[in-house]
Chain A
């Protein structure tokens, strides 16, 4: 759409900002990326997202849209080329259900795990694995991507787990994404993350690891004082 002005307020280490970028790039939308310092939020972010004061925020012709899954659906409905959500209402409901499931169940556990003591972390990790096993049970063996041959909404909504889970496994010394118990999930994430458009905006993994390790180490230091 000529004359469109699209801005994405994000944080380089946020999986939620990343998945919005994936949506924009799959659609071929030109956008300006604005890096936010989350310890010193810009007046622009606070103005656009006064309720949550969080990234990502998509600003389209001056109008803000918040909450990454809401943003992805907005992108899908505004730029109608290359649809992300399926056409059939039941398949759409299924995609929305599972994306919500991951955000509602897996994300809080990841956050909890990152601020758990050594004693608690195994229990939380076990709960997180159960969530992933449930997601595994929803997958169809025969399809490379969630919807079939082409990347879609569910793939970009959830594939961040393929990056963050292995990283957390290293930092916290827990098992999350067992190849043995979740072969379909592992294959699915690998397939999605190999796609060029997806791969080229994943942040450097060593930088991501260092960032989250630093956060975790600082938390553990406060716990042992």
Chain B
């Protein structure tokens, strides 16, 4: 159904959810890796507003913002597997929690990762508080939408990889099995899905990257609301 290109970085969790979406739909696409310290003129042309990845290019037309891209992919390749549920209330619930992830859970996790000392302790409280809401939402469900995985699993999927790798990198444990039994079970099950399992960025490279990100922490880095992969 036309030519598809994905502008991404190798490590961005937001780009990864688009990769999963395309692969799960069986869409053939070309990957263009971006170096965000040296953005290509194409990226700046296709995403002049945010200048960020991921950007999906479909028949030469760009779509930006990963949640918008996920819905676009779901609506465009609409035969076979659908990510969002059919029922309007279930769809609204999924969109609400997706927003909660992108606006609260992920940024709070990023802040926790990038702070030190007392600030890190405070940041930890916030991310745990956010995760407890997610834990409660998962109660009695195999995946976020029920028996089959979908949109919200793609959105929260970063939890399966990044906190664990960060723990390996800097010994910062977050997802305790006792505190988050539902989340931990979900992580195992979703992490077992072949498309998910086969597409994680290289762990060693991620560990190295996380070390580098924290290297400059002589002074505080105040994160913006939106995560920018660097």
Contact = CB atoms under 8 A, between A and B. Distances in A.
A89 B95 contact: no
A97 B63 contact: yes
B96 A66 contact: yes
A108 interface: yes
Q: Name B's interface SS.
A: helix
A104 interface: yes
Contacts of B100: 51
A67 interface: yes
Interface in A62-77: 63, 65-67, 70-71, 73-74, 77
B89 A70 contact: no
B89 A63 contact: yes
Contact of A73 (B49, B68, B95): B95
Given A67-B99, A108-B225, A74 B88 contact: yes
A93 B89 contact: no
A93 B92 contact: no
A90 B64 CA distance: 11
Contact of B96 (A65, A96, A108): A65
A137 B91 CA distance: 31
Contacts of A66: 96
A65 B133 contact: no
Contacts of B68: 93, 96-97, 100
Contacts of A77: 88, 91
Nearest to B69: A93
Contacts of B63: 90, 93, 97
B203 interface: no
A89 B78 CA distance: 11
Interface in B11-70: 49, 58, 61, 63-65, 67-69
Interface residues of A, number: 23
A70 B72 contact: no
Given A90-B61, A101-B49, A65 B72 contact: no
Contacts of A65: 89, 92-93, 96
A203 to B, nearest CB: 26
Contacts of B58: 90
Interface string B86-108: 00110111011001100000000
B135 interface: no
B204 interface: no
B114 to A, nearest CB: 20
B125 interface: no
Contact of A93 (B72, B88, B93, B133): B72
B230 interface: no
Nearest to B137: A51
Contacts of B49: 101, 134
A92 interface: yes
A93 B18 CA distance: 14
A39 interface: no
7 tightest A-B contacts by CB? A77-B88, A74-B92, A89-B75, A93-B72, A70-B95, A78-B88, A65-B92
Given A90-B72, A93-B68, 17 more contacts: A60-B89, A65-B89, A71-B92, A73-B92, A74-B91, A74-B92, A89-B72, A92-B71, A93-B72, A96-B65, A96-B68, A96-B71, A97-B64, A100-B65, A100-B67, A108-B225, A134-B49
23 contacts: A60-B89, A63-B89, A65-B92, A66-B96, A67-B99, A70-B92, A73-B92, A73-B95, A74-B88, A74-B92, A77-B91, A89-B72, A90-B61, A90-B63, A93-B72, A96-B65, A96-B71, A97-B64, A97-B65, A97-B68, A100-B67, A104-B226, A134-B49
